[in-house]
Structure 1
């Protein structure tokens, strides 16, 4: 089977009417000022189950015949596709079995189970899950709803692009995250049909550049820990590869640090909660600002299913990287009043002490001396220097501890 046409995607939009949320495409003024271009965000994190996956999953399931519906469906997923299949299966009265890696975060497992799906935890990654899926299909006759290598899934995801260009038809380019290629495959078909001159740019996590490697004629060699697990795919789809080859103008790779910056900046600058994969387009824009300078850029925020503890960690790390959260190591003599003097100096400059540690038991600290580690909330790098100067005036020796390398 070949991929969908623009007419297939238009038909998909009609079929999806009333079944999914027509999410807004909105300007992002704060990010536009920061990144030097006109940014418009497609808010698929506001979709049912908080990702675009609800589109394709619905179309794939309503295309089932009666016998297939009775036997049920199965898929393998660690998150967004799992929830989309479970959500629509519950609404359509179809039994759904979801095979998830054993280390899938509890929150994702429970959200998927809450939609009534049967959860099978097996293997360490999605590739290992595939064998379990094949076994269960053989035993029960389940129909596989593939996350991206499926005609109906691709045409459903393509409706994202249709909605973007209906909202902002004059875009210069569209930046779309790539995992297995279903989203960019569908979007690129309809976008190039409506606007042959529009530039379609894919984004992959540097550790999982499987589509760009495949298009370059290389065997994918990927792996590692990424916060963009939603696009951490080892092998792209047989249906999506030709679509990317035909319609995608370029693919950019982003690092983990750039992804973290993007997640944090969406939260801080636009008050948008996005997962790592959902922020990949912003990461690409951040890493290639001169390329997009002055252009009108559409970006798909493809999902918002991020663990809140991870989000908190990312926000703190971002604050550390730009000096708004800093750890100062201060040498003191072990005598009364030292902590009070430090607090007075920091507070007098408007710094906020978040945490403080009194170190005196290490072998490298003389018996009559001690070290203070103070974690301080500041306004930025210049403010840190002001605080250090105030401490130095009180005869304290101060060093900034580099949290990024320590």
Structure 2
């Protein structure tokens, strides 16, 4: 502990995690699962102390004027803690990707080459608000043999501190090195800025939260980053779309859970469909308490729609607000998405197979849908089990990131004295 007192908390804890990483790499799947189960049991046993810490966060939030919706996301109770513990048990049931043989081949000189999955090493997780992310991130990283340095938001500081304390106490009773799980308690932004520069200690940083957090990490990190989250998602209703299907998909994509990154922010509607059936879709949206903001052509058909602005098209509302724009062609819809989209999730509703195929091929996004709500961009819905986030970049991982996305690869080469001429 003397290191923590002589250098910054961030660097000291990253060094401890780095030192534990080699021990993590030697663990068997059974040993990792034993630690995760111990963590799940400990969360249930320590519910009272966790909720006591959470109550301090909630009280501080009320004093600071935090909205009730954010307080609800922060709040923990017995059922939520049980669900968090169950999430760890579900990770135990998932296949361990570490060690998977991806490729094997022999060279003419007799070398035998294998390519296998290995842990990334030390992962820095920077995230906001909900304390369940603390446990999810810890479980996913540890299952894949990675050490992890967690830096949550200040709103959940006491909750996260107690949760990580409980998890570390559980880990200490297993074969897993306890220093593989670290939490940064310094809530100043400088602690994030320092994490972003810890080349040689952190192998990758994964931000999870709002657009401002993600952009700060992406723009300022020298450590490699897996970009996640920001979602300005669109649904394009083509001229041949079934009106009832379009309404059902639009309502689900916008109103089923508007605060998440895979919810729709702009509805694009072909002019031919709009002339006959726009109100079928917009009436269903209004019945779901969605505020509509429309282009001039939309407002001619939907009188109570507010005027949409250029900034609205570039906004991730995370709320019951939706832009509606009428376009004259598939190509015009594609151009709009290319301009305002964040390469997250995009949907076309159409009965025209050629248009569907063009949309699926031309859209540059992590997930592209035909006649399916964008709300399905999720590790659980894809059958991956838990996820660490949804990557909107192209390198290493893209889309919902399950356990395999938290691994890298290693080549092992065996021979009998070969040298290169």
**TM-score normalized with structure 2 length:** 0.24
Indicate the structure whose relative CO is greater, using CA pairs within 8 Å and at least 6 residues apart: 2
